[in-house]
Amino acid sequence: MTDTGRNEKFEALLTAALERQPEVVVPVEFTVRVMQALPKRKPVRVTHYGRMMAYVCALVLMVTLVWLPVTHPGVTMSVRSVTGLIEIGMTGLLMLLFWVTEASRVMR
């Protein structure tokens, strides 16, 4: 037999071996053994850290919105002043915070 003939035969055997699908056999009791080996699940405790932080941020924003006009009475609500811009920005953030908190509550 020539060298070329051996290579062709080897390639044919190799190709046939690679194209063959292996048979997967799972024992019947496998699932039972795996489930018994798993640790018992602990009950999930529902927390509301995100909502509580939203309430804290809303409180800080409301205090800021009250504090700014008291400390700078003639400057607030003017787009030309820094405190006015801060107050307008804080009001927008407060509205956004209430909207996000309510949207998350509705989605549940």
**Among 61, 67, 65, which Cα is nearest to 98's?**
61
Under DSSP, the state recorded for 75 is T
So what's the pLDDT on residue 76?
Answer: 56
Q: Exposed, middle or buried: residue 87 (CB in 10 Å: 0-12, 13-18, 19+)?
A: buried
So what's the pLDDT on residue 80?
Answer: 73
pLDDT tens series, the chain, 108 aa? 567 778 888 999 989 888 888 888 888 888 888 888 898 888 888 777 877 887 888 788 788 877 877 787 766 566 677 777 777 788 888 888 888 877 777 766
Domain ranges of the chain: 3-37, 49-107
